[in-house]
A = this chain, B = another copy of it.
Amino acid sequence: MTDRRHAPADLHRFAVETLAAAGVDDLSAEGTARALLHASLHGVDSHGIRLLPFYVRCLDSGLVRPRPQVEVTRLRSAAAVVNADGGLGHRPSYRAMEVACDLAREAGIGMAAVVNSTHFGAAGAYAMAAVDAGFMGLVVANSGALVAPFGGRQPVHGTNPIAFAAPAAGRDPFLLDMATSAIPWNAVLLSRAIGRDLPADTALTPTGEYTRDAAAAMMLAPLGGREFGYKGAGLAGMAEILSGALTGMRLGCELDGTALGDTDLGHLFIAVDPGVFAPLAEVAERVALYCATLAGMSGEGATVHPAGGPQWAARDGRSANGIPLPPAVSDELAALAGRFGLPWPP
Contacts and interface: CB of A to CB of B under 8 A. Distances in A.
Give chain A's interface residue range (CB within 8 Å of chain B). 35 or more
A294 interface: yes
B245 A294 contact: no
Copies in the complex: 2
B289 A251 contact: yes
* A78, A247, A276, A302: residue with the most chain B Cβ atoms closer than 10 Å: A78
Interface in A155-192: 156, 162, 164, 166, 174, 176, 178, 182
A84 interface: no
B245 A290 contact: yes
A37 B232 CA distance: 27
Given A107-B78, A108-B76, A241 B290 contact: yes
Contacts of A108: 75-79, 111
Contacts of A242: 136, 272
Contacts of A106: 76-77
Interface in A233-265: 233-235, 237-238, 240-242, 244-248, 251, 253
B235 A176 contact: yes
A227 B246 contact: no
A246 B231 contact: no
Per CB-CB distance, the 3 closest pairs between chain A and chain B, nearest first, are A79-B108, A248-B278, A76-B108
